[in-house]
Chains A and B, each alone.
Chain A
Amino acid sequence: MSITVADVEHVARLARLELGADEKKLFAGQMDAILGYVEKLKELNTDGVRPTSHAIPVENAFREDLVCPSIGVDKALDNAPLKSGTYFSVPKVIE
């Protein structure tokens, strides 16, 4: 295992994070140590083992297709950093 600064930059781009030069170096070392540790899972024979995504057996939770009250536009917009009328406002998407 060897995580380079270039790997860190690639993952940061995917995660929508911007890291400083020192942070990149620090993360490369720390991720390398942590991923090195998790390599031990390779020792496990998992042939034919089903992956678990959820520990408790539950069926899909259906509900009646009915209109229910919701929190409403005003409340939903209360925490918006920027809004315009009944919309969330964001920087221009297409120049």
Chain B
Amino acid sequence: MNIIDMTISGLHAALKSKQLSSVEATKAMLERIETVEPQVGSFITVTADHALECAATADLRIASGRMDMLTGIPLAVKDIFLTEGIRTTCGSRILENFIPPYSATSYQNLRDSGAVLLGKLNQDEFAMGSSNESSAFGVCRNPWDTTRIPGGSSGGSAAAIAARQAIATLGTDTGGSIRQPASHCGCVGLKPTYGRVSRYGVIAYASSLDQVGPLTRDVTDNAIMLSALAGYDPKDSTSVDEPVPDYVSELAGGIKGLKIGLPKEYFIAGLDPDVQKTMDAVIETYRRLGAEFVEISLPHTDYAVATYYLIATAEASSNLARYDGVRFGHRAKEAAGLLDMYTKSRSEGFGAEVKRRIMLGTYALSSGYYDAYYVKAQKARTLIMNDFIKAFESVDVMLTPVAPTPAFKIGEKVNDPLQMYLSDIFTIPVNLAGTCAMSLPAGFSADGLPIGVQLIGKPFGEEVILRAGYAFEQATEWHKATAAL
């Protein structure tokens, strides 16, 4: 098997049995990156020298017998994760030359396990977008069809896996930013429960919704990654001190008698026929595996996008106030005084989508509109959360589409932000409810574009959706398909 096609578990076995060294594996990945990067654009920064150093250290560690599941595995992370000494842009001109003085806990956990960093991945600017088109560092293309978007905001994280430029990657998900690109690029993407993985050192977009998670080729790899990432971090006061199960050994339990809810609000008229067909086939597979289906209702689904775009933009307008040109980031050259320096630095540094969301959030929080917009949205969020709590009284997991359509064309929605926002309709409610969900490769459109389905779990029920995903994967071959690129 080619190195670039390997999974974490496969490469781990090869490293352990000394069939391969981490340096060999890392070189193969770097060569692959060089070959296909002009067609894909998954990376903002490739850290080739650093990767080879990490790999050499990993090989020593393997030789000394202190090997971990991720030791020597070449990975890449979204450019939203602070990496000490390595440029971190968050897809924005305002951080074009920013070298973080410390690292994100999640990234550090991967490094502590001995993982190799290949580079920093392309993304929508400040994770604001569903297509990766708001990146200040070039277009990222879908490896299955390079005229199409890879999804966003973790577009590079999904495209790098589909293009076989990394064995696994790290993304973040505020409204679907792991699951939607995973669905569009045919990989497994998990958004853990809010608080499951530390957000320390992850550049903030909407702090009550942001969560870190892995994108991988298969469910086993996802469980391996989550095991390295999950857990309480004293540096993140919103991380939760819940016991971390052994996600890998939990995979094989089977799903006989698992109660799967189908929320009727997610099976709307106008769902893309290929997506509908995929859903039908997945339901059939699960039935065959012994799952029971229950129709459920999440009655406030239709209000989720509106709720999200008030809460997320309000939090963003506050979080992004820190980019003022004083302590780090871009500072405007010509400025008449301090206030003008703030204003010019921000206006030069931020792209259009970021400005638009800061404007919306500022409006929603401004005097006279605070109660009508922001507080109203927080109340709607309560109703949406309660929908999930109630539905989970009668089911173990939920099964839904990830996105209403397969990957759309580059440029198709770029001039219509509202249409772009509505493409996240099935992923946003999960972030508002704070629970966990996973996108699983489940089929292809007539045009050969990957289509994922979403398994939603109870809070801190990651092992249940991973097990359900694993059972599906054992019965199907979708996750083994590779883009022709």
A interface residues, Cβ below 8 angstroms from B: 7-8, 11-12, 14-19, 23, 27, 30-31, 33-35, 37-38, 40-42, 44, 46, 49-56, 58, 61, 63, 71, 75-76, 78-82, 88, 90-93, 95
Contacts and interface: CB of A to CB of B under 8 A. Distances in A.
Interface of B: 97-99, 101-102, 193-195, 208, 234, 237-238, 240, 300, 302-303, 305-307, 309-310, 317, 321, 324-331, 335, 337-344, 346-347, 350, 352, 355-356, 358-360, 362-363, 366, 373, 375-383, 385, 417-418, 421, 432-435, 459
Given A18-B344, A91-B337, A55 B385 contact: yes
10 shortest interchain CB distances as A-B pairs: A55-B434, A51-B378, A79-B328, A81-B331, A61-B237, A46-B379, A38-B306, A15-B362, A18-B347, A75-B101
Given A34-B421, A53-B208, A27 B306 contact: no
Contact of A41 (B240, B307, B346, B432): B307
A95 B339 CA distance: 13
A16 B363 contact: no
Given A44-B380, A46-B383, 18 more contacts: A16-B346, A17-B346, A19-B347, A31-B359, A31-B363, A34-B309, A38-B310, A38-B373, A41-B306, A41-B310, A46-B379, A49-B383, A51-B379, A55-B432, A76-B101, A81-B329, A88-B327, A91-B337
A18 B360 contact: no
Contacts of B358: 15, 17
A33 B418 contact: yes
Contact of A58 (B238, B309, B418, B432): B238
A93 B339 CA distance: 8
Nearest to B332: A81
A80 B417 contact: no
Given A33-B418, A78-B99, A14 B327 contact: no
Contacts of B98: 79
A54 B208 contact: yes
B359 A12 contact: yes
B359 A11 contact: yes
A90 B325 CA distance: 9
Nearest to A55: B434
29 contacts: A11-B363, A14-B362, A15-B362, A16-B321, A16-B339, A19-B355, A30-B417, A31-B359, A34-B417, A35-B363, A38-B310, A41-B380, A44-B300, A46-B379, A46-B383, A49-B379, A50-B379, A52-B382, A53-B378, A58-B195, A58-B238, A76-B101, A79-B328, A79-B329, A81-B329, A81-B330, A88-B327, A91-B335, A93-B338
B306 A40 contact: yes
A13 to B, nearest CB: 9
A46 B377 CA distance: 10
A75 B385 CA distance: 42
Contacts of B373: 38
Contact of B101 (A30, A54, A78): A78
Contact of B382 (A37, A38, A49, A76): A49
A46 B330 CA distance: 43
B326 to A, nearest CB: 6
Contacts of B325: 81
A61 B234 CA distance: 9
Contacts of A61: 237-238
B317 A55 contact: no
Given A11-B363, A54-B208, A40 B303 contact: yes
Interface-central residue, A27, A49, A71, A78, by most chain B CB under 10 Å: A49
B401 to A, nearest CB: 21
Contacts of A16: 321, 324, 339, 342-343, 346
Contacts of B341: 90-91
B343 A55 contact: no
A76 B344 CA distance: 23
Contact of A46 (B302, B337, B376): B376
A15 B365 CA distance: 11
B459 A79 contact: no
Contacts of A19: 347, 355
B381 A52 contact: yes
B240 to A, nearest CB: 6
B380 A17 contact: no
B455 to A, nearest CB: 19
Given A46-B379, A46-B380, A17 B359 contact: yes
B433 A55 contact: yes
